[in-house]
Amino acid sequence: MTNNLSFEIIPAIDLIDGKCVRLSQGDYAQKIIYNEQPLEVAKMFEEIGIKRLHLVDLDGAKKGEVVNQKVLETIASKTNLIIDFGGGIKTDESIQSVFDAGAHMATLGSIAVKNKSLFYSWIKKYGANKIMLGADVKDERIAVGGWLESTNISIIDFIKENLSNGIENIFCTDISKDGLLQGPGIELYKKIISHFPSIQLIASGGVSNIYDLNELKATGCSGVIIGKAIYEGRITIKELKSFL
C-alpha cells in the first residue's frame, strides 16, 4: 500500500560553468556535458508535461556559495516550472538571492547537519513548504559536503529530528547508487517509509529504466529525481510522457 496518490517525476539539471552536466557518485573528475544550454533542456521537459525541476549548482556546492544564479533566473523567467535549487546556499543572503532569482524551494543538505540553528531559522522565516531537505546516505548514515564527508548520524534519526522541526519535503539519495544506472536504493526507501508512513519521500539516484519508476511508486515514494537515465536515453521522452 502506498502513502501517496500521485507520483511526481522531477528531472535534474546539474550545472557546471552554466552547462547541463552529470557526475558519477559526486566525482567532479567524472563529468559529462550533456547540453550547453540548460534552458533548452528545461523547456523540453516543460513541453512534455513536466511540472517540477531539480536544479543543482555543482560549482556552488564546491565553492560554498551560489554560482549559477543566472541560469536559475533564466529558467525561472522563461518557463513555468516549479524549481527547487540547491548548491552553495550557506548564508541568509544566499538563500534570499535564490528565492529572488525565482526558485520556489531551496534545496539544503549539509547545512542541516553543520548549522542546525541557521537551518531551522530558515524553516521559520520562509516556511517548511519553501525548504527541501536533501539527505545523502551511505550505509544508512548521512554524508555531507558533496558526499566527501561521512557522519555517524543514522538516516532514521536525521529524518525524525527534521520532521519534528517542521520539515515536510525530503529527498533521499543513496550515494552508492547515484549515477551508476544500476537501480535505486529500494530497500533504503522501504525502511524509511516503514518508520515514517506519512512522509513525502522523493527518491534520488540509481534510476536506470522505466520499471524502476514503477517500483519506487509501489514502495510509497511520492516522487523521483531523475538525471542520467534521461540524458543517456535509458528512459525515453516517450516513456517519461506515459508516466505523467
User: Cα torsion for 53, 189, 32, 47, to the nearest 10°?
Assistant: -30
Residue among 122, 126, 130, 76 nearest 105 (CA):
130
Report all structural domains of the chain as residue ranges with CATH numbers, in order of start. Answer: 8-243 (3.20.20.70)
pLDDT tens-digit profile of 217-230? 999 999 999 998 99
> Residue 150 gets which letter from DSSP?
E
- Reply yes or no on whether 14 is catalytic: yes
By the 8 A CB rule, do 21 and 33 touch? yes
- Please give the pLDDT value at position 179: 64
Query: Side-chain half-sphere of 70: how many Cα atoms within 13 Å?
Result: 7
- Please give the pLDDT value at position 195: 97
- Please give the pLDDT value at position 24: 73
pLDDT tens-digit profile of 110-130? 899 999 999 999 999 999 999
pLDDT at 177 over 80: no
Report the percentage of the chain scoring pLDDT > 90: 77
Q: Give me the amino acid identity at 241.
A: K
- Reply yes or no on whether 17 is catalytic: no
pTM of the model: 0.92
- Please count the helices (runs of H) and the strands (runs of E) in the chain: 11, 12
The active-site residue out of 14, 84, 178, 212 is 14
pLDDT tens-digit profile of 57-87? 999 988 999 999 999 999 999 999 999 999 9
Which residue is it, cell 540548460? 38
- How much is the mean pLDDT over the chain? 91
With 0-12 CB in 10 A as exposed, 13-18 as middle and 19+ as buried, what is 91? middle
- The 8 Å CB, 24+ separation contacts for 23-29 are 23/58, 23/179, 24/178, 24/179, 24/180, 25/147, 25/175, 25/176, 25/178, 25/179, 25/180, 26/146, 26/147, 26/148, 26/175, 26/178, 26/179, 28/58, 28/62
pLDDT tens-digit profile of 134-173? 999 988 999 886 656 789 999 999 999 999 999 999 999 9
Query: Where do the DSSP E strands lie in 97-242?
Result: 105-108, 131-138, 141-144, 149-154, 169-174, 200-204, 223-226
- Please give the pLDDT value at position 88: 93
- Please give the pLDDT value at position 197: 93
pLDDT-wise least confident of 23-32, 51-60, 184-193: 23-32
The active-site residue out of 57, 59, 136, 174 is 136
SS3 67: coil
